[in-house]
Amino acid sequence: MGKKAIISGVHDTAVGALPESTCMSLHVEAALGALVDAGLKLSDIDGLLTAYSFTSPQLMLGGVFGEYVGLHPKVNASISMGGVTAGLMVHHAASLVKAGICRHVLCVTGDNRLTGMGERVQAALADVGHPQYEQPYGMSVPAAFAMAAQVYFHEGWLNGEHLAAVAVNQRVNAALHPQSHLKKPITMDDVRKSKVIASPLRMLDCCLVSDGGAAVVVSAAQTARDLPRRAVELLGIGEGHTHEHIFAAPSLVDFGCKESAATALAQAGLAHADIDSAHVYDCFTSTLLITLESMGFYGRGEAGPAALAGEFAIGGRFPVNTNGGLLSYGSSGAAGGMFHVVEAVRQLRGECAQRQVKDAEVALAHTLGGIFSGHCSIVMGRL
Amino acid sequence: MSEVPSLPMPMPMPAPDACSRPYWDGANQDVFRFQRCRACGRAQFYPRSLCAHCQGADLGWETAAGPGRVASFSVIHRAPLPAFASAVPYVLALIDLDEGVRFMCNVLNCDPATVRIGMRVRLCFQARPGSTQKVPQVEPAES
Ligand SMILES: [Zn+2]
């Protein structure tokens, strides 16, 4: 131990409907952007981590990308764990540089989910859920996430107003980001009157589907003095994995985020109150609130009222998802989680202009895969 | 261009394997079978080759009596597949059977608006058009 890992470069591509984009074009753009940001050449990269693609599925995405850009890394792996993947990539990259195996690990994600799926959308959706014990019942992803939300509603810990406050706040934040997918303002009423998808979740409680990509470079801390940007240190990273299918979740109230956040904070030697800006996976409005409570940032039944009181706003007590998150900034497969990592880094570098959280010194990025199944919490701070 | 006749889209059906065949064969006989570990005494859903609690391999089959309660649910208004489009709104639920196993199914034979967490239900077995396989489901206990 003793070696430290930093994030030396980040980049996110345009998001939204990008009909000319492909999985590979988004990977290339994100990767080269992160290299420029880090002041590195492609040949400086000795580790490559990639995720997965729905629009252009590959047996070895890392091999395909490396070949395409002309990279021959010492370490190469593709991780496929749904929405938690981006966090896992950063975790593995940090382990590689701390162990001295790599100096600079490129973590790159991207998919043209919105315009590139065509008829495969249905096939991809049909694959969600256990083929024997869930798919025969017409399970949808929103309905599976709604199982936890319904318990919170039943207990009086959440209501529709709380969820709507999350959606409205994140749209406000997205409007302050030059490249967010959706900027059109929405009202509480718009959310509350949007179509029910799977009760209690409505259309505007659900994340977007976007084309887009994002990449980060994780480097050994001793390289930091050569880098052009202020580096951000990875202070603590934790994971939590409890189940895959929602019927097998040990609880419908607490999830693996409880363990992942506790591990990350303990490693960092920090407390919940030290987090200045939080960037938390928000595939649904309810997912965000439940995750914040389960991680211990709020007591039971307190996250919803906090959202309603404006605490998550950029100038609020606990700024959350300052880029607009998956709900309004963009959601492009594994890149969705990486957008959160990128925004957390930008906050700590003080590059967020109108979205800047004042005096942001410590940030949390949290990714989630499956149905609250796998979690990764990353605590980072200014070096 | 000649029109392609539209066939009714079949609902996804399970493909039983060696491990799950007793469960799905049971459903065809209107019984819900689950495994109980002879080493640690835990019941488990779904059928596995080992106990997910203690990893013991000595598992016995038991039959659920039928009653259970709704642990959680969602009323689905947007179907994930065309096969379920004509069924909306339908109830997807997590059911805790009284024997201590939780499984996912639909709540049948009731107004979706009447389903609540904690509601008592009982097992029933649904035949599906175009399939010889029945699927375990529940309906309100008082109907
Ligand atoms: Zn056992």
Task: Report yes or no on A217 lying in a domain.
Answer: yes
Residues B51 and B75 in one domain: no
Q: Domain limits at A219?
A: 5-118+211-226
A376 assigned to some structural domain? no
Dmax (CA) for chain A in angstroms is: 56
Enclosing domain of residue B92: 65-143
Q: What is the C-alpha to C-alpha distance for residues A115 and A374, in angstroms, rounded to an integer?
A: 28
- Separation CA A281–CA A299 (nearest Å): 19
In the predicted structure, residue B8 carries a pLDDT above the cut 50: yes
Distance in Å, alpha carbon of B16 to nearest chain A alpha carbon = 7
Q: Which two tokens stand for residue A153?
A: 């509603």
* CB-CB contact of A95 with A65 (8 Å): no
d(CA A300, CA A304): 9
Q: Given CB atoms, is A101 within the 8 Å cutoff of chain B?
A: no
| B34 interfacial to chain A (CB closer than 8 Å) | no
A 232-271 residues inside an 8 A Cβ radius of B: 245-248, 252
User: Is some CB atom of chain B closer than 8 A to the CB atom of A142?
Assistant: yes
In terms of Cα–Cα distance, which of A279, A295, A371 is closest to A90?
A279
Total count of residues recorded for chain A: 383
State whether residue A110 is helix, strand or coil. Answer: strand
**Structure confidence at residue A229 (pLDDT):** 82
The answer to whether residue A85 sits within a structural domain is yes
- C-alpha R_g of chain B: 17
Nearest residue of A to residue B13 by CA position?
Answer: A136
Query: Who surrounds ion ligand 1 at CB < 5 A?
Result: B 37, 39-40, 51, 53-54, 56
Report CB contact under 8 Å: A131, B15.
yes
User: What is the DSSP secondary-structure string of A201-240?
Assistant: EEGGGBPP--EEEEEEEEEEGGGGGG-SSPPEEEEEEEEE
CA of A243 to the centre of ligand 1 (A): 17
Split into its structural domains, chain A has a count of 1
Is residue B9 in a domain? Answer: no
C-beta atoms surrounding B3 within 10 Å: 5
In a shared domain, residues B49 and B102: no
Q: Which residues does chain A have within 8 Å of residue B80's beta carbon, measured at their own beta carbons?
A: 125-126, 128, 138-141
Let me know if residue A101 belongs to a domain. Answer: yes
Nearest to A23 by CA among A210, A212, A179, A180: A212
Give helix then strand counts, H and E, for chain B: 1, 8
Mean pLDDT, consecutive 10-residue segments, chain A of 383 residues? 86 96 97 97 98 93 98 98 98 98 98 86 74 97 98 98 98 97 97 98 96 97 84 97 98 98 98 98 98 98 98 98 98 96 98 97 98 98 92
Domain count, chain B: 2
Selection from B97, B30, B37, B28 nearest residue B61 by Cα: B37
Q: Which of B12, B77, B106 sits opposite A135 (nearest CB)?
A: B12
B62 Cα: distance to centroid of ligand 1 (angstroms): 15
pLDDT for B61-79, tens place per residue? 999 999 999 999 999 999 9
pLDDT averaged over every residue in chain B? 94
- If asked whether residues B59 and B109 sit together in one domain, one would say no
Q: Does one domain contain both B69 and B58? A: no
In a domain, B6, yes or no: no
Tell if the CB–CB gap between A247 and B77 is shorter than 8 Å.
Answer: no
Task: Please answer yes or no on whether B45 and A247 come within 8 Å at the CB atom.
Answer: yes
Answer whether residue B2 shows pLDDT above 50: no
For residue B4, is it within any domain?
no
pLDDT of residue B125: 98
The CATH number given to whatever domain includes residue B80 is 2.40.50
Residue B7 lies in a domain: no
Q: Do both B24 and B56 map to the same domain?
A: yes
The answer on B138 and B112 residing in a single domain is yes
**B39 found inside a domain:** yes
Residue A61 lies in a domain: yes
Q: Do A150 and B90 touch (CB under 8 A)?
A: no
Give the pLDDT score at B10.
86
The answer to the question of residue B57 being in a domain is yes
- Structure tokens given for B80: 């994930």
Asked whether residue B92 falls in the same domain as residue B130, the answer is yes
Do B46 and B29 lie in one domain? The reply is yes
pLDDT digits (tens, 9 = 90+) for B73-102: 999 999 999 999 999 999 999 999 999 999
A35 close to A9: Cβ distance less than 8 angstroms:
yes
Would you say residue A294 lies in a domain? no
Domain boundary among B5, B35, B63: B63
Residues 70-109 of B with CB under 8 A from A: 71-84, 87, 90, 92, 94, 102-106
Q: What is the Å distance from ligand 1's center to B42 Cα?
A: 6
Which residues from A are below 8 Å from B11, CB to CB? 136, 138
Among candidates A138, A148, A151 on the partner chain, residue whose Cβ is nearest the Cβ of B80: A138
CATH number for the domain that contains residue A23: 3.40.47.10
Q: Is B75 left (phi over 0), alpha (psi -120 to 50) or beta?
A: beta
Based on the fold, state whether residues B76 and B55 are members of the same structural domain.
no
Asked whether residue A350 is domain-assigned, the answer is no
- Overall pTM surpassing 0.80 (yes/no): yes
Dist. CA A352–CA A173, nearest whole Å: 11
A-B Cβ pairs (cutoff 8 Å, strict): 109
